[in-house]
Amino acid sequence: MGWLVMPSAGSCLAIDPAALGSGGGGGSIVISKPVGQGGQARNLPDDVRTVQEALNQVTVKGVNGGPMPLLAVDGLCGPKTIAAILKFQRAQVPVIADGLVEPGKQTILKLNEILDPVSRADMEAKVRAALPFVNRSLNGALSNLAAIISQGPGPGAPDLAADRLNRHFKIGSLSPDRQSTARVNLFRTYTRMSATIQKPELFDMAATDNFDVDKSNAKIALTRGGGFFEEGQTDPTGRRFDQIQLGFGFFARNVTDEFAAFIIIHELAHFINDADGTAIVDNGRGWFNDVFIVPLSAAARLTNADSYAGFSWECGANSAAKPPFVKTAPGGLGGAR
């Protein structure tokens, strides 16, 4: 199992680690589509404002390549904004100098390196702030599973617990013996996920030791499938398999503590895999009633990271309402945005 990368939106993608490089900076300047000149530019107003603000801050910090006078932060990509992008590129990334700022590429990585580098301490603070929501969700999932396992399927089973399992995993579509096996396996998987975060002392570590900052990753996260069990191993760039690598997208302004918790649960599913060792991947992304989740079979959902995140989130929040930060997308490469 290789690395799985979660873009700023969309599914985790299996990638070659060499494609991300091993250097650069990280931070919280994130755009969804290219900004600047040329046919690739989409110049969405929010993205343009983000770039305009970032370029102005280059000047404020006294770093070479910032605009003077400062740009109007109006979300309109006109000649002055394009000229400012080119000025910055010529000063800081001259091999590019194409007047285009693209998600995950060298220009935005350089802006993040200059303006908002993320330290290990920043990462630990962000993860700790999300952990109460992670713990609530995982504890809720385990409680729901324990309730139905203790009574079994059928008329005597706890209705709410059964409904939740059906919503997210389609457990009811399986034969009775496969239902029983699936419930127990889910309980074992969530137990491992919970122990990783809630009882890290069992592994002679702290909860935040499961994470690191990947300053060359402009996406949200990069996770080695089953990496938790590959202690001390690294890829050719030096990234540790036994840590979830958090890119600067994880530190973007829109990633609230609750959103960060959902991301962490999703990544933990990849990091641990299911209790039998089957890879948990991205067959579809979104909430149980989203267009790319509804068609998935029980087997596909039982190996789908967002299904694990969604079930535990509903159990912890005690609500089947879709959280505002959950977006739907197809699985695999089709989920990239």
Instruction: Find the helix packing angle between 106-115 and 79-92, rounded to 10°.
Output: 80
Q: What tens digit of pLDDT does each residue of 33-83 get?
A: 999 999 999 999 999 999 999 999 899 888 999 999 999 999 999 999 999
pLDDT of 10 reads 54
pLDDT of 337 reads 35
Do 292 and 186 reside in the same domain of the chain? yes
pLDDT of 47 reads 94
Residue at which a domain ends, from 115, 144, 177: 115
Q: What is the CATH number of the domain that holds 148?
A: 3.40.390.10
Do 274 and 327 reside in the same domain of the chain? yes
At residue 333, does pLDDT exceed 60? no
Q: In total, how many domains does the chain have?
A: 2
Q: Is 69 exposed, middle or buried (0-12, 13-18, 19+ CB in 10 A)?
A: exposed
Do 179 and 51 reside in the same domain of the chain? no
With a pLDDT cut of 70, the percent of the chain lying above it is 89
Region 286-306: mean pLDDT is 97
Residue whose token pair is 């702290």: 206
Do 197 and 265 reside in the same domain of the chain? yes
Q: What tens digit of pLDDT does each residue of 10-37 get?
A: 567 665 554 444 333 334 688 989 999 9
**What average pLDDT is seen over the chain?**
88
Residue at which a domain ends, from 82, 115, 148: 115
Q: What tens digit of pLDDT does each residue of 216-226 get?
A: 776 789 899 99
Residue 127's pLDDT band (cuts 50, 70, 90)? very high
Q: What tens digit of pLDDT does each residue of 167-214 get?
A: 999 999 999 999 999 999 999 999 999 999 999 888 888 899 999 988
| Range of weakest confidence among 30-44, 93-107, 151-165 | 151-165
Is there a domain that residue 13 lies in? no
Do 66 and 125 reside in the same domain of the chain? no
Is there a domain that residue 267 lies in? yes
Of residues 7 and 192, more confidence is placed in 192
Do 214 and 110 reside in the same domain of the chain? no
Do 48 and 171 reside in the same domain of the chain? no
CA 264 to chain centre: 7
- Distance, in Å, from the CA atom of 124 to the CA atom of 185, rounded to the nearest integer, reads 31
Do 169 and 270 reside in the same domain of the chain? yes
pLDDT of 15 reads 56
Region 109-116: mean pLDDT is 86
Structural domain span for residue 207: 120-335
